[in-house]
């Protein structure tokens, strides 16, 4: 008599088998330095928020320089027909974590509905095969005390924003570390002492080093270059960044310079800071995926068209390297 299994059990068994078969196949062909069957690849999944298709040099941008991401694209693969699951934050991230489109996903809008215990995430699947799992950045799939917090959805370590609206601020007074608030006293009382993107990068590097001797999955969900919508409505410029970097002397509107500076910071940090792969994880091969989740500019972001005219796509598309 056949035994019925749940969707969760099916994907856990299938995932474990697929990882083993892939590694064994590579090993049998003598391809080095690909991992052997008992040493699966590390996975670093980097997500940029509100970064458009045409905002990177590898997709035609000419005014903003992104040499590290361009190199990743040149040396890897580009998935030019990947689309976000939805037009707004939470359901897009729900689709990424569960693999479900909006006809089946539990979260279909930004109403702060948490993931349920029965929702299977990629982190749970990988954890069941022996991976250390971590998320740093923006979650948006469960508020404090709900079933949707990352530590209940397959992640061993969590650091960042639970709430996507709080993630608009780049100088928060606190973020979450696992189930506890992590205070940032340098930002108390409206001070601007710690830029959260830089702290996310530091924590990501810590996670990679902490788990260098075992397979790991890191979901690095950066918030740049999303605008601080509230600041944008108040001042007209929501591109909250410590400085304009190499674009400070450009004759551009302030939001355009801020956007370019955010993209510059992103490219800087996913370049030499997180690579090359052979430097991380006890010299095992890392699989790195970079995904851009785009929507139309709003909330104090670029509006003049100066940079937008360099972009070759609009609407809610995601592009992967």
What is the pLDDT confidence band of residue 302, given thresholds at 50, 70 and 90?
A: low
Domain count, the chain: 2
Residues 18, 148, single domain; the answer is no
- Residue 269 is predicted with a pLDDT of 93
Distances (CA, A) of 161 to 87, 165, 168, 200: 20, 9, 10, 11
Beta strands in the chain, from DSSP E residues, in sequence order: 42-49, 132-138, 157-161, 174-177, 180-183, 216-221, 286-293, 318-320
Strands 42-49 vs 286-293: parallel, antiparallel or unpaired: parallel
- Residue 25 is predicted with a pLDDT of 34
Q: What is the mean pLDDT of residues 124-142?
A: 97
- Residue 8 is predicted with a pLDDT of 60
Question: What is the tens place of the pLDDT at every residue in 151-189?
Answer: 999 999 999 999 989 999 999 999 999 999 999 999 999
- Residue 52 is predicted with a pLDDT of 86
Question: What is the tens place of the pLDDT at every residue in 72-88?
Answer: 999 899 988 888 889 89
Q: What's the CA gap between 46 and 154, in Å, rounded? A: 18
Residues 100, 27, single domain; the answer is no
Instruction: Verify cis geometry, omega within 30 degrees of 0, for the bond prior to 225.
Output: yes
Domain that includes residue 225, residue range: 41-320
- The contacts of residue 281 (CB under 8 Å, 6+ apart) are 42, 208, 211, 212, 215, 216
Residues 138, 23, single domain; the answer is no
- Residue 27 is predicted with a pLDDT of 35
Residues 203, 306, single domain; the answer is yes
The tally of CA atoms less than 13 A away on the side-chain side of residue 118 is: 5
Q: What's the CA gap between 90 and 110, in Å, rounded? A: 5
- Roughly how many angstroms between the first and final C-alpha of the chain, as a whole number? 46
- Residue 291 is predicted with a pLDDT of 83
Task: Answer for the pair 220, 194: CB distance below 8 angstroms, yes or no.
Answer: no
Distances (CA, A) of 68 to 48, 80, 124, 265, 288: 14, 18, 31, 11, 13
- Residue 309 is predicted with a pLDDT of 54
Residues 179, 31, single domain; the answer is no
Q: What is the mean pLDDT of residues 222-242?
A: 96
Residues 20, 167, single domain; the answer is no
**How does the average pLDDT of the chain come out, rounded?**
83
pTM of the model: 0.84
Residues 107, 136, single domain; the answer is yes
Residues 221, 207, single domain; the answer is yes
Question: What is the tens place of the pLDDT at every residue in 305-314?
Answer: 566 555 444 3
Question: What is the tens place of the pLDDT at every residue in 181-216?
Answer: 999 999 999 999 999 999 999 999 999 999 989 999
Task: Answer for the pair 228, 169: CB distance below 8 angstroms, yes or no.
Answer: yes
Residues 290, 254, single domain; the answer is yes
Q: Write the DSSP string, 20-33.
A: HHHHHHHHHTT-SS
Residues 229, 301, single domain; the answer is yes
**Alpha helices (H) along the chain:** 7-28, 67-75, 89-98, 122-128, 196-210, 229-235, 254-270
Question: What is the tens place of the pLDDT at every residue in 243-260?
Answer: 999 999 999 999 999 999
CATH number of the CATH domain containing 185:
3.40.720.10
Residues 78, 31, single domain; the answer is no
Residues 66, 189, single domain; the answer is yes
The whole-angstrom distance between residue 318's C-alpha and the CA centroid of its chain comes to: 12
Helix (H, G, I), strand (E, B) or coil at 138: strand
């Amino acid at each position: 008599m056949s035994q019925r299994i749940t969707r969760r059990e099916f994907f856990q068994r299938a995932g474990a088998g697929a990882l083993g078969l892939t590694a064994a196949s590579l090993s049998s062909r003598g391809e080095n330095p690909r991992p052997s069957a008992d040493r699966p690849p590390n996975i670093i999944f980097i997500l940029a928020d509100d970064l458009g298709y045409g905002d990177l040099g590898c997709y035609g941008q000419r005014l903003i320089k992104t040499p590290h991401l361009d190199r990743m694209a040149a040396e890897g693969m580009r998935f030019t027909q990947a689309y976000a699951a939805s037009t707004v934050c939470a359901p897009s991230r729900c689709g990424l974590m569960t693999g479900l489109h909006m006809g089946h996903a539990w979260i279909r809008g930004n109403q702060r509905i948490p993931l349920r215990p029965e929702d299977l995430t990629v982190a749970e699947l990988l954890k069941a095969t022996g991976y250390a799992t971590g998320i740093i950045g923006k979650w948006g799939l469960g508020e404090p005390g709900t079933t949707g917090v990352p530590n209940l959805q397959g992640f061993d370590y969590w650091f960042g924003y639970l709430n996507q609206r709080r993630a608009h601020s780049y100088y928060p007074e606190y973020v979450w570390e696992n189930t506890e608030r992590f205070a940032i006293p340098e930002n108390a009382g409206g001070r601007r002492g710690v830029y959260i993107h830089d702290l996310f990068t530091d924590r990501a590097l810590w996670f990679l080093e902490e788990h260098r001797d075992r397979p790991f999955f890191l979901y690095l969900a950066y918030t740049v270059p999303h605008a601080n919508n509230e600041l944008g409505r108040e001042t007209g410029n929501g591109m909250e960044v410590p400085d304009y970097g190499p674009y400070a002397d450009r004759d551009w509107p302030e939001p355009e310079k801020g956007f370019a500076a955010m993209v510059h910071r992103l490219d800087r940090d996913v370049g030499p800071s997180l690579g090359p792969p052979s430097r991380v994880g006890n010299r095992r091969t890392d699989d790195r995926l970079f995904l851009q989740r785009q929507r139309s500019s709003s909330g104090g972001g670029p509006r003049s068209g100066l940079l937008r005219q360099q972009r070759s796509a609009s609407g809610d598309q995601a592009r992967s390297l």
